[in-house]
Amino acid sequence: MIRALSLLLAVAAPAGGRETIGVYQGWGAFRDAAPARCYAIARPVRAGGRTGGWASVATWPGRPLRASLHVRLSRARDRSAPVTLTVGERRFALVAGATDAWAADSPSDRAIVAALRSARSMSVEAVAPGGRPFADVYLLAGAATAIDAAGLACVGR
């Protein structure tokens, strides 16, 4: 698991000014100096694509973003197909580009983070070009602690 989180460091943010806040089971919490942001991040335990992808919940002190979901899909998606996040029994439609997806707005971010706190797993489902569906599955053990640690690391910044 530590190896997987170290790989996240390589793809999630620029190397300069990154501080590890902590590793909480399958989730890590980090702070970047420039641009200033704090985030919890994890790799999927099962990726439906050829690459690993990742999911993060970030706070950007210089922007009006608090506990904002960002998902990098494990493969490109068909741009005409929706991206759906399933957390426990709840489903959320995400706004998506070719390989990235986000909550539609701040109320959706808040609802997603609340769901993450009480569920055991989440999945992000999409359809690849050519029509083949795929899903990236994440375990949520440690997610709430990592989200809280990342949020606290950006208080007052």
Distance of alpha carbon 152 from alpha carbon 136, whole angstroms = 28
Cα→Cα distances 150→59, 90, 98, 120, Å? 8, 24, 27, 20
| Domain CATH number, residue 28 | 2.60.40.1880
**Whole domain around residue 22: which residue ranges?**
2-153
Q: pLDDT per position in the chain (157 positions), as tens?
A: 443 444 344 444 445 688 999 999 999 999 998 888 999 999 999 887 666 899 999 998 878 788 999 999 999 999 999 999 999 999 999 999 999 999 999 999 999 999 999 999 999 999 999 999 999 999 999 999 999 999 999 876 5
Cβ-contact 17, 8 below 8 angstroms: no
pTM: 0.86
Extract the tokens encoding 88.
């426990």
Starting from the edge strand earliest in sequence, which strands make up the sheet with 90-96, in order? 18-24, 27-32, 37-42, 54-60, 65-72, 100-102, 90-96, 83-87, 121-127, 133-139
Q: Tally the domains of the chain.
A: 1
What residues form DSSP beta bridges with 71?
Answer: 55, 101
